[in-house]
Amino acid sequence: MKTIIEPFRIKVVEPIRMTTREQREKILKNAGYNLFKISSDDVLIDLLTDSGTAAMSDAQWAGIMSGDESYAGARSFYRFRDKVQEITGFKHIIPTHQGRAAERILFGLLSRPGTYIPSNTHFDTTRANIEFQGGSAVDLVIPEAKDTQSLHPFKGNMDIVRLENFIQGVGADHIPLCMLTITNNSGGGQPVSMENIRQTKNVCQKYGIPLFLDACRFAENAWFIKLREPEFEHSDCKTISREMFSYADGCTMSAKKDALVNIGGFLAINDDELAMQARNVLIVTEGFPTYGGLAGRDLEAIAQGLEEVLHEDYLAYRIRTVEYIGEKIDRDGVPFLKPTGGHALYLDAARFAPHIPLPQFPGQAIACELYLEGGIRSCEIGSIMFGKTDAKTGKHIAPPLELVRLAFPRRVYTQSHFDYVAEVITEVYRNRENLKGYRFTYETPYLRHFTAEFEPVPS
């Protein structure tokens, strides 16, 4: 077996700035030890997110030039719509400026107090949009998802028994829709099997509940199905995607992930009445239905990106990259969420730095040290992002997993960048006893991870 190489050559380059550890110590201190507050110019390798950070192809840039900027009926809209329909099969395709705009329109119409929206795991913006309208977002992923060392091949699966019990418990009338996030970002970029999508569909159908996919990373999910579900070994990823979408009544999509663009999204719906209502909201808040908050050139780039993302040499390289870095750090005993998922490596911070108590944020200690050691920006997904303080006792309530996410921008970094990242992680792990906890010096009540400031806890 030969090395799986980057299936592209590089036509445009963007320099990255080297800094010294001494400089980074100052930069981090000035940012209140919050990596969201650092200028990207001060980051060497930016693994904060895989969202909107892809490198576009020459064909996508050509699309940017040929985009039709007409207000109504733009040629670029039709190309976009036809491509989305070719892959998803949905009837109504509604462009939005990004994924959460599609969520806001959908849940503005369907979520209200007394409703419940079950999912394998809702992403934060999905949960926020449901709860903002007064509904309840419910996560029903299989129990294996909570064990970072379980090698279950589809750790993003819905727990079908819990789903059915839940529907019977609250009553189908209170469930306007059910969702599946493919792949399951909050649970480690883990895929959902075709079998599980079919089973979820069967339960939904039995109770007359529509099923929607949060399809941001649908192509990565399709590739895992091809690799891990024998039935699909010989199917191509477009056919697999078509089948995944065929079980759903609609989807929300952030094109900033698997459409390989820097901005964009869409809402797709089969139901005529719901689509009409969604377009009405779209016109009020996003724009006319043939551009929906995007420029014509963005629609061109999305249409082209959706074609490219399903190329199997791209998907093989994409998923192999995450697996490759996982194999490297595994040899040095670094604890991480296994098996590696689609778009990111998730370090298991609780095992990595067990000497730091959870209320002192072991994930943050690791994320800060990855920056100090190697200029790498990652993201704590643990007690800072999802932890709470008990109002009565003042005690810290930790989320189920304490993780640090290193998300991989698409087609941006090469193998030697990832070799470097593995070296830095290993070095930080080797010196893990020196890691110190952090405490807040400034904290806001909502989404505190974006704006909080910290200081190291003296030993």
Residue holding tokens 């699909």? 232
Backbone dihedral region of 51: left (phi > 0), alpha (psi from -120 to 50 degrees) or beta?
Answer: beta
Query: In what helix (H) or strand (E) does residue 94 lie, and over which residues does it extend?
Result: strand 92-96
Closer residue to ligand F0G (CB): 315 or 356: 315
Q: Measured from the CB of residue 171, what is the shortest distance to ligand F0G in angstroms? A: 27
Task: Output the CA–CA distances (angstroms, integers) from residue 154 to 150, 161, 187, 195, 290, in the order listed.
Answer: 10, 16, 11, 10, 37
Query: 284: burial class by Cβ within 10 Å (0-12, 13-18, 19+)?
Result: exposed
The answer to the question of residue 133 lying near ligand F0G (CB under 6 A) is no
**Is residue 418 part of the contact set for ligand F0G (CB under 6 A)?**
no
Q: With contacts defined by CB under 6 A, name the span among 34-42, 118-126, 130-138, 275-283 that binds ligand F0G.
A: 118-126
Q: How many residues bind ligand F0G (CB under 6 A)?
A: 15
Binding flag, residue 293, ligand F0G (CB under 6 A):
no
The site string for ligand F0G over 163-202 (x = CB under 6 A, - otherwise) reads ------------------x---x-----------------
Q: Considering only CA atoms, which of 235, 282, 305 is closest in space to residue 64? A: 305
Q: Which stretch binds ligand F0G (CB under 6 A): 53-61, 98-106, 225-233, 368-376?
A: 98-106
Q: Which is nearer to ligand F0G, 138 or 356 (CB)?
A: 138
Judged on CB neighbours under 10 Å (0-12, 13-18, 19+), 109 is: middle
Quote the tokens at residue 3: 């090395």
In angstroms, what is the minimal distance from the CB of 106 to ligand F0G?
Answer: 12
265 binds ligand F0G (CB under 6 A): yes
For residues 90 and 250, is the Cβ–Cβ distance under 8 A? yes
Q: Check binding of 216 to ligand F0G (CB under 6 A).
A: yes
**Binding of residue 99 to ligand F0G (CB under 6 A):** yes
Taking the least distance from each CB to ligand F0G, the nearer of 155 and 353 is: 155
Q: Is 420 helix (H, G, I), strand (E, B) or coil?
A: helix
CA distance 218 to 241: 7
Q: Which stretch binds ligand F0G (CB under 6 A): 23-31, 123-131, 234-242, 439-447?
A: 123-131
- 249 versus 258: smaller Cβ distance to ligand F0G: 258
Interface with ligand F0G (CB under 6 A), residue from 57, 254, 304, 364: 254
As a 3-state breakdown, the chain gives helix, strand, coil percent values, each rounded to 5, of 45, 15, 40
Interface map 35-54 toward ligand F0G (x if CB under 6 A): --------------x-x---
Nearer to ligand F0G, 108 or 456 (CB): 108
The reply to whether 220 sits near ligand F0G by the rule CB under 6 A is no
Residue type (1 letter), 421: V
Q: Which amino acid is at 96?
A: T
Tell the smallest beta-carbon distance from residue 126 to ligand F0G (Å): 6
Among 60, 88, 115, 126, binds ligand F0G (CB under 6 A): 126
Q: Which residues pair with 96 in a beta bridge?
A: 265
* Bridge partner residues of 93 (DSSP): 268
What secondary structure does DSSP assign to 116-145, as a single string?
EEEES---HHHHHHHHHTT-EEEE-B-GGG
When asked if residue 410 is in the footprint of ligand F0G (CB under 6 A), the reply is: no
Q: Which residues does 114 contact at the CB level (< 8 Å), separation at least 6?
A: 134, 135, 174
Shortest distance in whole angstroms from residue 128 CB to ligand F0G: 10
Q: Tell me, what amino acid is at 443?
A: E
Identity of the residue, 265 or 375, whose beta carbon is nearer to ligand F0G in the bound complex: 265
Give how far Cα 93 sits from Cα of 63, 100, 287, Å: 20, 16, 14
Residue 214 in the binding site for ligand F0G (CB under 6 A): yes
The residue range among 62-70, 93-101, 187-195, 237-245 that interacts with ligand F0G, by the rule CB under 6 A, is: 93-101
Q: Which of 336, 364, 333 is nearest to 439 (CA)?
A: 364
Write down the least CB distance from residue 315 to ligand F0G, Å: 18
The yes or no reply on residue 218 touching ligand F0G (CB under 6 A) is no
Q: Which is nearer to ligand F0G, 125 or 415 (CB)?
A: 125
Dihedral Cα 147, 150, 153, 154, nearest 10 deg: -10
- The stretch near ligand F0G (CB under 6 A) out of 119-127, 156-164, 302-310, 433-441 is 119-127
Indicate the residue among 159 and 214 with the shorter CB distance to ligand F0G. Answer: 214
Alpha helices in 139-295 (DSSP H): 160-170, 194-206, 218-228, 237-246, 272-285
Comparing CB distances to ligand F0G, the nearer of 124 and 330 is 124
Q: Is residue 98 close enough to count as binding ligand F0G by CB under 6 A?
A: yes
Q: Given the rule CB under 6 A, which residues bind ligand F0G?
A: 49, 51, 98-100, 123, 125-126, 181, 185, 214, 216, 254, 256, 265
